[in-house]
Amino acid sequence: MQSKLFYLIIFVCSLLFTGCVRNSTQEDKEDVQQQTSEENTVSGEGVKSEVVTIDSLAYQEKITALANGDTTGMWPVKNQPYPLAGAILPFKRIVAYYGNLYSKKMGALGEYPPNEMWERLNAEVQAWETADPNTPVQPAVHYIAVVAQGIPMSDGTYCKRMPDAQIDSALSIARMGDAIVFLDIQVGLSTLQHEVPLLEKYLKMSNVHLGIDPEFSMKDGSIPGKKIGWYDADDINFCSEYLAKLVQENNLPPKMLIVHRFTQGMVKNYKNIKLHPEVQLVMHMDGWGEPVLKNSTYNRYIYREPVQFTGFKLFYKNDLKKSPNRMLTPPELLKLKPQPIYIQYQ
């Protein structure tokens, strides 16, 4: 009898102990889940909504691959935020045609009728997918929506804003090839703070992104085209913060911000540029010339001042002006450190 009573007491105690452990484990799990939820939320108007980021391991593997064996520690960029779900970079390479529909001289976009343009762009897409079969290509239309002028407009800004009908045409051309769209701004004597909000209805679209060109930012009042302009980190941060807010408020996938650059002075205080999970920032090598010059420009102004991602522009005409009278090829560009993930043809 005493033996049976002893085993009964042991059995009851074990049940109580197991229950305590189970409750404790469940509470700990709930605490961890609550902590994770709080760390991955953004608040607005007193309501928290969950923020979903991409696969961090896959992202890290891809940006490490883009660094292309760089051993300096500069690439990939350290401590960059993981983007929100739906981010295009670095999982796809952007291949874009650049230009303006009013001009045949500003780039391939506008030089050719839409059907011919798409034949040409699709050939470039295929060339990149052949050169790098591990990175799918996302075609893009990069449209200059605000064009710097050599004469003043009625408001004295020296920039001409494209009418909505023209921007709508660019969007229609993009739809022909399932392309995304970049709207580019050349502010002249205006400012990004004035020009970017004028494009907000387009930037609220999930497939529309932003490009800004320091070459035509004439902060000293010079006439555009007479000298090379510049942006400070504060200008770039304004754009990033503006886009980040649009993403948050409209439940959009991350935006991309392209910053053109081909001289040291075009971008000042790059170390002060701030990154956001809602915005993917591309420093874009925009210079033209022979291959050795372009590679040098990329190394001096893009490689040595890392921000996040990099781009490279190829000119169908200007790159051929000097010996060896040819453009760089996709296999050659894939040898760069880091590999450009945004490619633009003009």
The string of pLDDT tens digits covering residues 14-27 is: 434 334 333 333 33
The two structure tokens encoding residue 210: 């932003």
Q: Mean pLDDT over residues 93-119, rounded?
A: 96
In this structure, are residues 173 and 114 in contact, taking their beta carbons and an 8 Å threshold? Answer: yes
pLDDT given at position 53: 78
Phi–psi pair at 202, nearest 5 degrees: -80, -40
d(CA 280, CA 298) in angstroms, rounded, equals 19
CA-based nearest residue to 284, from 310, 305, 304, 307: 310
The Cα 100–Cα 235 span in angstroms is: 24
Q: Buried (b) or exposed (e) across 182-219, using 16+ Cβ within 10 A? A: bbbbbbbbbebeebbeebeebbeeebbbbbbbbbbbbe
Task: Give 50's strand partners.
Answer: 41
pLDDT above 80 (res 256): yes
Judge whether residue 11 has pLDDT over 90: no
Going by pLDDT thresholds of 50, 70 and 90, the confidence category of residue 52 is confident
Residue 67 phi, psi (nearest 5): -65, -20
What is the average pLDDT value for the chain, to the nearest integer? 88
Calpha distance 119→97 (Å, rounded): 12
Rounded to two decimals, the pTM is 0.85
Q: Alpha-carbon distance 237 to 241, whole Å?
A: 6
Dihedral sign of CA atoms 163, 169, 172, 173 in order: negative
Length of the chain: 346
The rounded distance, in Å, linking the Cα atoms of 55 and 294 is 34
> What DSSP letter does each residue of 230-267 carry, written as one string?
-EEHHHHHHHHHHHHHHHHHHTPPPEEEEEEESSGGGE
Distance CA 163, CA 263 (A): 31
Sign of the torsion angle spanned by Cα atoms 60, 132, 288, 209: negative
CA distance 212 to 258: 6
What CATH class has 54-345?
alpha beta
| Averaged pLDDT, 255-270 | 98
Cα 21 from Cα 302, distance rounded (Å): 56
Q: Is the dihedral of CA 219, 225, 228, 233 positive or negative?
A: positive
What whole-number percentage of the chain has pLDDT above 90?
84
